[in-house]
A and B are shown apart, each in its own frame.
Chain A
């Protein structure tokens, strides 16, 4: 999501928060990487599902 650049208000809560860089934001919707992450994350969830109850 491309949010319009806003002004940082010093000492506001937002001013102390981390913010993703342009590259991080690009990678979040970069299809090739996201296809891989889709399978990786599904596997991680399945690991929890399988081990989560007996």
Chain B
């Protein structure tokens, strides 16, 4: 009997758990450890943030789903990994701490044969002074944050209805954060809602981002075929902003937020400020703070994790200049180089380097996006990691037939630009591969025939369709496994 332990029940961990359980015989055990009781479909949080969905529409309780599937669920946070066991045990285990119920705050050692670290990110608001829903800005990173943002947005809208001008500042809240797409969606949805209420004349909408140019999205931008041209996504993104009357500031790293004022540094080394009445700034991501210890109790965290707390896997982490980056630097099976029965998928794995070109201000501050791994890539990684583990359990082989490098994997991103069955809009973007491969595709970095950038009502229907489809799949309802990641 084998024991598969999965830390995290987000898109990657939950996908891995369902697939492992479905493909393994019942004698094998699948255990999920997550500090949260609910699964959330993160892409729809945007609609909570503008009051068009309730948190209950994007989440559901994990325990009943896992019970039905025969997955053991422990609502707890992972504290430390002990891959070699300790003086009293030969097998690897993870120390966990329960976060709810009768066992709250109780610690337990959970042994495993295979471990998947799919803990996702720690929303590192503390990395930027004054950032976050407990301080002076809003967030849409979780359904609770998004609901809180909607409460504050309603206050701003009410002021506008009384004739008071409001300044909105949306974007990235740290010089090196990712998830520009979520902020992009949010500002477009706010603009759409303001327009719906005919309050445009009272709104000043500002975008602030660590991207070198608009449309970078942390993936070095892309090229799309449009109107008889192949154009960079900069044109695409700027065009949408112009249509929605949104101003933009790029090459900017927010370093501090005070009530109503964001302080930022730009690549020219200038220290500037932007005032706001309502701000939603995405925080930087870090690992969740898992530690690792060897058999003797020595701290081996630095060996297993990158300095930001994300887990090292089968990537090439040797520092090299941007010009020398290769597709082969990116991991394909997400296996720890230290222990072959440990994997990290989704946001929990440490990318070998950014996708966007690293930039430094004249003062030496690094200002560039880190790589996005949310949504579709996270699900695909969870899937192939689970499939490889299932193969290893069934065959005893150490081969990994399933691979999904971000340099060989495509991704689709549907960016909501307004909610409404008849008048809603969304930008559909697809890229293949996610990480540009300039050796294979020297002209555009990616396969241009797979790349799409299109805005319209069809995109909104697709985003809405995917909301229901992926929640159906996550609930493991009949034939869930037919739906691809």
Contact = CB atoms under 8 A, between A and B. Distances in A.
Interface of A: 1-4, 6, 12-14, 16-20, 25, 27-29, 31, 33-35, 37-38, 41-42, 44-54
B450 A4 contact: no
B411 interface: yes
A18 B458 contact: no
Nearest to A48: B410
B242 A52 contact: no
Contacts of B432: 48, 51-52
Contact of A53 (B201, B244, B247, B409): B409
A27 B384 CA distance: 40
Given A17-B241, A17-B242, 14 more contacts: A1-B243, A1-B418, A4-B195, A6-B200, A14-B241, A17-B235, A25-B243, A29-B457, A34-B458, A41-B452, A44-B450, A46-B484, A48-B412, A52-B411
Interface stretch (B11-19, B294-302, B423-431, B436-444): B423-431
B158 interface: no
Contact of B485 (A3, A14, A31, A49): A49
28 contacts: A1-B195, A1-B423, A1-B425, A3-B191, A6-B200, A6-B245, A13-B238, A14-B238, A16-B238, A17-B239, A17-B242, A18-B242, A25-B243, A27-B456, A31-B457, A34-B461, A38-B458, A41-B454, A41-B458, A44-B450, A44-B452, A45-B462, A52-B404, A52-B410, A52-B411, A53-B384, A54-B402, A54-B403
Q: Which DSSP category, helix, strand, loop or mixed, fits chain A's interface?
A: helix
B192 interface: yes
A1 B460 CA distance: 13
B248 interface: yes
A46 B201 CA distance: 42
Given A53-B384, A54-B403, A41 B239 contact: no
Contact of A17 (B238, B401, B452): B238
B63 interface: no
Contacts of B32: none
A40 B314 CA distance: 36
B309 to A, nearest CB: 26
B244 A28 contact: no
